[in-house]
Amino acid sequence: MQKLVIYNHGKDSIPWGEKAYALAEVAKRHGYHFISPDYQASNDPDLRVKQLLAMNLTAYDAIILVGSSMGAYVVTVAAEIIQPKGLFLIAPAFYLPGYQRTEFSPHCQRIEVFHGWQDEVVPPENSWRFCQQHQATLHMLDSDHRLLSVLPVMADAFDRFLDDC
């Protein structure tokens, strides 16, 4: 069985930052291939969705989508078509000005969301709203938008998440 994790970075981030490396290590221990597309050519979230949906994923039996900030928006919209086993969302950029979608219908078996109490980019209540609507698990952590101070906690949670998916 071919398994894949696709990590989707945020608006002003890079494909292979600290979060991607930490989660890639976990994914590889579980036998997943791990890719992190480069979205730096465009800050348009809906163009990023199109870029993700243009990938040929037919070789994979199980797909997990991971997204940080704008990347979480991208994977949640794309999940309607890709239908992954799970969504692992980090400070998702939901319900913000300039984002086309405000209603989501992710088709997946499991959703977990991580958000920092001190997030000054995306209000924490946006994650609460999404999780309430989609019966997703919400982890509120003592951190800022990037959540790097709690990266080991998220990596451990990702380990359990992959076990459950």
Domains, in order of start, for the chain: 3-164 (3.40.50.1820)
Q: Which backbone phi and psi does 97 adopt, to 5 degrees? A: -60, 140
Spatial separation of the C-alpha atoms in residues 3 and 20, rounded to whole Å: 17
* CA dihedral for 113, 126, 71, 154, sign (positive or negative): negative
pLDDT digits (tens, 9 = 90+) for 98-139: 899 999 999 998 999 999 999 999 999 999 999 999 999 999
pLDDT digits (tens, 9 = 90+) for 72-93: 999 999 999 999 999 999 999 9
Distances (CA, A) of 154 to 25, 31, 90: 12, 19, 9
- Classify burial at 140, counting beta carbons within 10 Å of its beta carbon; exposed 0-12, middle 13-18, buried 19 or more: middle
